[in-house]
Chains A and B, each alone.
Chain A
């Protein structure tokens, strides 16, 4: 099976909202998409072409945020009317409502076990509720201005929140304490998201920046200034390698977090893009804007043929000798699509490379592919330069794609363009290096153990011979 890296494509185009779309979320069962809007309605769109969309009326003011429960049976919506509603997304449209805050509720999120609800509001508080019977659990009160966004970490132990007091706060859900505050001097924080690994968070600001912070070391890892006006919404791809953002400048941007640079810029909305979301698996993403439209895109650029890669690695493992060295690394064999973006979809937890820390000027060993040892140059030279494509790609419906460019050509490919092949080779090279490193480490460990055994044996001999002498 040959699958080449492709550009995202527009799949569906939903019209029906009567005002700015504020939020979009996929149903984990991938059959529906929910969207909230300033027109006070929640719309649930069905992907099956014949099925109609549902418009849920009930809120008395703008819906600011929507979120599907992990099971897909419920949709939560947060509104300017200070309430949160839990809907069953069916034709009956039953819902239960509860007054959550004393001011506009900006954000709602389910924990990954579906038991707890997290709400953030203009009343400067963040509150946690049980889903069952919507009982109030506790509130987090340290923000000094509107809290625009609050999310659970993937394991549910941490909460991240972003506020107009220009801070992003990290909270421990059990101790209810604020464990760290990141200062965002540039402007208000519109949206915060957790990386799927739970080790990083991203924040979108009104100062047009997207920042990625490491929460273990509490420092800024990456800082993208590609947008030209306020960034409204962010979403991580399930692999953790891509970050999608929507901004007032009307563009959707996809950032490659491993390389630390802009990957795609998409135009599809007329006017500000207010909401973006990847599907749970990452194969689709949706966007909503002030043009009242909801667009659904097929990701495409995260496709790879994992089974072929596994085979090639099995081959490598059986061929390797006890002490592999750099010179033993086999030459690259032309493979049509040996691409791996270290996606965890196929196996659950693949080898996950660290997000590139752009503070580090020292290029890491893992970034250099094996066939690059002769040329001794890192693959990605310009990290922050926004790439513009000028090739005459056929455009569909006002979309504009910006493919990755400037990757070094390693070998000729007949089936896919050389630049893409180069990138794929590079990524596989990284994995190869990791595999080699691990086996090298194992060799060293074995040698060390043998040495230790030798020393112990020698010591025993010495003590026993000394004992004999003493006799």
Chain B
């Protein structure tokens, strides 16, 4: 989506090549929502974050925590950096911020992607010094072992080191690739239906650890009763209704 000459750590908005200006519409909507809502947890990143808001996990476990989702599909590090600098971290006072970005930076080398992510982390901690920032490691992709997986592994390794150097409340949450990659090196479509985006099952695996961390940081625990309310079918509704 961006030209080769744009570095990963210099903020850059997305150009409207297709002609419907969707990226800017989403960004503007996010900025508006910072003025209206009172979120305690902010999720920002690319499509992996964006699609999370559509899952049942989000409704059940994250919405009660007053979360807001600023993910835009296809975003690279420079795009998220631009968004953070242009209003998406103003006006709100969240307690926790979760960042997941980098898998779309096809034109950049591993080191450059890490620089991009670190730049975003620095910008966020400057704008929201009181919030806890969680930087997530990139999940693996592709059905079989491939060079993108290797690049992601390099990024994650370097990120673990570099994030420690960022001043402020920043934590790196590593992703254990064996969550998704089996012993033969294959990723199942049941976890990632297109070998990069997650199914409900995949999200449950990926975010279980994150949910624990977020709840810890918020000093809040969503009670166990909530998780048994399956609102997908009316049977679930009837079963959980207290007579």
**A144–B231 CB distance below 8 A:** no
User: B64: CB under 8 A from chain A?
Assistant: yes
User: B147: CB under 8 A from chain A?
Assistant: no
**B64–A183 CB distance below 8 A:** no
User: B4: CB under 8 A from chain A?
Assistant: no
Report whether over half of chain A's contact residues are helix, strand or loop; otherwise say mixed: loop
* A181 and B64 in contact, given A144-B223, A144-B226 (Cβ under 8 angstroms): no
Say which residue of A145, A183, A248, A290 sits within 8 Å of B241 (CB atoms).
A183
User: A81: CB under 8 A from chain B?
Assistant: no
User: A157: CB under 8 A from chain B?
Assistant: no
* Least distance between B117 CB and chain A CB atoms (Å): 32
**B231–A185 CB distance below 8 A:** yes
Q: Which residue of A lies closest to B231 (CB)?
A: A185
User: B130: CB under 8 A from chain A?
Assistant: no
* A144 and B237 in contact, given A181-B242, A185-B231 (Cβ under 8 angstroms): no
**Per-residue interface assignment for chain A, residues 316 to 357, with 1 indicating a CB less than 8 Å from any chain B CB and 0 otherwise:** 000000000000000000000000000000000000000000
CA distance A146 to B37 in the complex (A): 14
* A185 and B64 in contact, given A144-B223, A144-B226 (Cβ under 8 angstroms): no
User: B66: CB under 8 A from chain A?
Assistant: yes
CA distance A145 to B62 in the complex (A): 12
CA distance A290 to B32 in the complex (A): 13
Q: Which residues of B contact A181 (CB under 8 A)?
A: 242
**Per-residue interface assignment for chain B, residues 203 to 233, with 1 indicating a CB less than 8 Å from any chain A CB and 0 otherwise:** 0000000000000000000110110000100
* A164 and B241 in contact, given A144-B223, A185-B231 (Cβ under 8 angstroms): no
Say which residue of A145, A248, A272 sits within 8 Å of B64 (CB atoms).
A145
**Per-residue interface assignment for chain B, residues 17 to 46, with 1 indicating a CB less than 8 Å from any chain A CB and 0 otherwise:** 000000000000000000010000000000
A-side interface size class: 10 to 19
User: A165: CB under 8 A from chain B?
Assistant: yes
Most buried by A among B64, B231, B237: B64
**Per-residue interface assignment for chain A, residues 243 to 284, with 1 indicating a CB less than 8 Å from any chain B CB and 0 otherwise:** 000001000000000000000000000001000000000000
Q: Which residue of B lies closest to A187 (CB)?
A: B63
Say which residue of A144, A164, A183 sits within 8 Å of B66 (CB atoms).
A164
Q: Which residues of A contact B223 (CB under 8 A)?
A: 144
**A164–B231 CB distance below 8 A:** no
Q: Which residues of A contact B242 (CB under 8 A)?
A: 181
Q: Which residues of B contact A164 (CB under 8 A)?
A: 64, 66
CA distance A165 to B226 in the complex (A): 9
**B64–A165 CB distance below 8 A:** yes
**Per-residue interface assignment for chain A, residues 179 to 203, with 1 indicating a CB less than 8 Å from any chain B CB and 0 otherwise:** 0010101000000000000000000
Question: Which residues of A are interface residues toward B (Cβ below 8 A)?
Answer: 144-146, 164-165, 181, 183, 185, 248, 272, 290
